[in-house]
Structure 1
Amino acid sequence: MDNMLRNKIYIIGSVASGKTTMARKLSKQLNIPWYELDNVVHLRLPSGDVKRDAKERDFEFNKITCSDKWIIEGVYRQCFNNGFEKADTIILLDTPPFKRKYRIAKRWICQNLKMEKSNYVPTLKMLFLMYKWSNGFEKSKKDIFETLVPYNDKVIVLKDNTCLALE
């Protein structure tokens, strides 16, 4: 499996599908830097997140994808489709909705108890948005699979982030 993954790995999936956990683990095992698409879309400032304009966002994304090695993880966003062409491997985490809902609740509780770091303020509004985005993934899944058809030779679909064995 290690040779199949190679140097440019693009991980997509819903909120709470396990993308970040998988990216972090693969980064450590393969010694490849990983990037969160949320940090490409948003500029993280002490005063709060600021959404980058499209030109700056695309510049940051292209800077990553033009490098020799990378792992990118994030929810599917059409503006980043050119990353599929540049990736050696595309991993779609199609984690069951019940598992994602549990993870969203657990994450929100842990973030509010300061047991887990967060790139955003874990408000009730954010909790409801995450559930909304998770449901939206189910509705858009057919379109995502259709977008990935030209890249089927390098797509791996997993039902959980623990399914990828590198040994």
Structure 2
Amino acid sequence: MNKIAPRKIHIIGSVGSGKTTLARKLSNKLSISHYELDNVVWKRNKPRDIKRTDEERDHLLSTIIQSDAWIIEGAHYNEWVFQSFNNADLIIFLDTDYPKRKFRIVKRFILQLLRLEKSSYKPTFDIFRNMFIWNDNFENRIKPKVINKLEQYYSKSITLKDAIEITNYLS
């Protein structure tokens, strides 16, 4: 029996969990566009990003999820995001080890400062510091809520914890 590949995928996880990397790999493998929720919340603009209004944000997300295929990734866990949970064929929760995420935050920041890794935002020390705060918040406040929320999507959700599980899933 052939399993049909999902065409609408939501990836959720903390900062440094591997969401963007997984989204890119799935995007290439399945030929599906991927979207970062941060870019739904923020209009990328120089010299500073501009936060979209709630209406603009909701409309943009709605437009994305109404398309035939998409991969949405982000750490955002708010009511406005749940429309993508509802419309997803598959929800992937990346529950990467907490110390590994901290290491990845440091590594990413250094690579971005050296311009060896692209980012959609200007890497600053404030953002670097905030990533640790966001990581702690996700671990202690958001993660239990995600686990609880995914119970209602048990038939279309999966939790992946490390690179081996992710690689096996991609195979």
| TM-score normalised by the chain length of structure 2 | 0.92
Classify the secondary structure of the residue corresponding to 2:50.
strand
Tell which deviates more after alignment, 65-74 or 43-52.
43-52
**Post-superposition CA distance 1:85-135 (Å, at most 9, x none):** 100000000001110000000000111111111112211111110000011
Match of 1:166 in 2: 170
Structure 2 gaps, min length 5: none
Match of 2:138 in 1: 137
Aligned-residue RMSD, C-alpha: 1.4
Shift of 1:162: 4.9
Identity %: 47
Q: Please give the alpha-carbon distance, in whole angstroms, between the structure 2 residues aligned to 1:5 and 1:76.
A: 25
Contact kept, 8 Å, 2:93 with 2:158, in 1: the verdict is: yes
Which amino acid is 2:145 matched to?
D
Q: Please give the alpha-carbon distance, in whole angstroms, between the structure 2 residues aligned to 1:166 and 1:125.
A: 34
Shift of 1:76: 2.9
Runs of 4 or more above 4 Å deviation: none
Shift of 1:23: 0.3
Which amino acid is 2:95 matched to?
D
**Greater relative CO (CA pairs within 8 A, separation 6+):** 1
Contact kept, 8 Å, 1:95 with 1:160, in 2: the verdict is: yes
Classify the secondary structure of the residue corresponding to 1:67.
coil
Classify the secondary structure of the residue corresponding to 2:25.
helix
Match of 2:151 among 149, 152, 156: 149
Tell which deviates more after alignment, 16-25 or 114-123.
114-123
Number of matched residues?
166
